[in-house]
Amino acid sequence: MTGTPHNVEQHWPARCTIVPPYLLVRLARLTDPRYAGAAEAARQSLLRDLPLRELRIPAQPPTPLSGAPRTAAATRPGHRPGSIDRTVADAGGRELLPGRIVRREGQPPVADLAVNEAYDGLGSTHVMFWTQFQRDSIDGAGLPLDASVHYGDHYDNAFWNGERMVFGDGDGQVFNRFTLSLTVIGHELTHGVVQHTANLDYRGQSGALNESIADVFGSLVEQFAFGQSTTQASWLVGEGLFTDQVEGTALRSLKAPGTAYNDDVLGKDPQPSEMAGYVDTDADNGGVHLNSGIPNRAFYLVADALGGNAWEAPGQIWYDALTGRTPTGSTLAPNADFADFARATETAAATRFGVDSAEQHAVTTAWHTVGVSTLGAR
């Protein structure tokens, strides 16, 4: 998988959404008239999302990552590597994409806060990936970054559809607008990075890895943008998305999966933090938003053990494992499980920092702590 396009289709959903379907299902089932608006918004959001989750679309060819990385100039004449090209459109409450273009690259802020938040979030994500990993946009080849805001009527989600970021405005009772959280923007664009590298299947453990990697780099985008060290960072994904009517801080916590919210209406955050709590289910594509808590915590433990800035050594290790930057140039299989990824991160740490280095030790210890073995081969 070093630049050769896939010859088979992968199970990549048309929408990789930030809000897990189990949260929307819980809201949709509410009968309390006080939550009638939120319940209806959740029902309509589910109708938009769930019918498309099993849609099969052709896999994108991964970016060549062994040897010299492909530059944008090779495929996009006139593009300067590392430069950014953003476009934000306004869907105007409709479900037709992209909508009316309201801000292009280099144009000043507009009166619409959601437009400016999306524009800035695209930029923050691009800067982090380019500065830290020399990745030229999400495809490694200068792909323009496009987003649409104000999608649907009180749409309770944000998603990456394989081509662009799309943001709903929330119902105003449970969810705020989805451009509000930088981790959400970084998360969804990272799904694009995964799509153009390992192209992990969106089901079971590979799907949970897909979600976890998006959470990890979404968190790193925020930490990098605000200059937050490992100890200063909140390690929350979607902080601020809940209104003040919800007893919760965010959708997920990398530091302590299962603690992001505990609300009478939404229930308690169900994410496990170790393999002993792994959820075996057919729902949510095999629990991709649930079991992602396990590799999420592994990354936090590595960052906590090494200290400093998580986008440096820990982020580099995860990026190398995802993209296959090893001496052999090998990459993860699309159906990689937790153990496969654990071994890939251990190899990446040893390759970049040395065998028996503090970095490799931190990686091995972290996976052991969450109950994932790095020994042997599948």
Q: Does 141 map to a domain?
A: yes
Task: Identify the DSSP state of 70.
Answer: P
Residue 93, domain extent = 16-369
Give the per-residue pLDDT at 20.
92
Give the per-residue pLDDT at 376.
54
Interval 255-284: pLDDT, tens: 999 999 999 999 999 999 999 999 999 999
The total of other beta-carbon atoms located within 10 Å of residue 347's CB is 20
Q: Is 289 a catalytic residue?
A: yes
Arithmetic mean of pLDDT over the chain:
88
Q: Is 95 a catalytic residue?
A: no
Placement of tokens 């925020």 in the chain: 222
Give the per-residue pLDDT at 327.
63
Q: Does 170 map to a domain?
A: yes
Of the candidates 177, 180, 184, 214, the residue with the CA atom closest to the CA atom of residue 91:
177
Q: Of these residues, 154, 191, 196, 289, which one is catalytic?
A: 289
Give the per-residue pLDDT at 76.
66
Interval 43-91: pLDDT, tens: 999 987 754 443 323 333 333 333 333 333 345 677 899 999 999 999 9
Interval 283-300: pLDDT, tens: 999 999 999 999 999 999
Number of separate domains in the chain: 1
Q: Does 8 map to a domain?
A: no
171-181: average pLDDT: 96
CATH of the domain at 36: 1.10.390.10
Interval 318-372: pLDDT, tens: 999 999 876 655 578 999 999 999 999 999 999 999 999 999 999 999 999 999 9
List all residues 6 or more positions away from 267 whose beta carbon is below 8 Å from its beta carbon: 26
Placement of tokens 């997920």 in the chain: 252
12-37: average pLDDT: 85
Q: Which residue has the higher pLDDT, 70 or 190?
A: 190
Q: Does 259 map to a domain?
A: yes
Q: Does 10 map to a domain?
A: no
Q: Does 11 map to a domain?
A: no
Q: Of these residues, 117, 188, 222, 346, which one is catalytic?
A: 188
Q: Does 285 map to a domain?
A: yes
17-43: average pLDDT: 92
Q: Does 253 map to a domain?
A: yes
Interval 100-151: pLDDT, tens: 999 999 999 999 999 999 999 999 999 999 999 999 999 999 999 999 999 9
200-213: average pLDDT: 96
22-26: average pLDDT: 93
Question: Which uninterrupted H or E stretch holds 166?
Answer: strand 165-167
242-260: average pLDDT: 97
Measured distance CA(35)–CA(150) in Å, rounded: 22
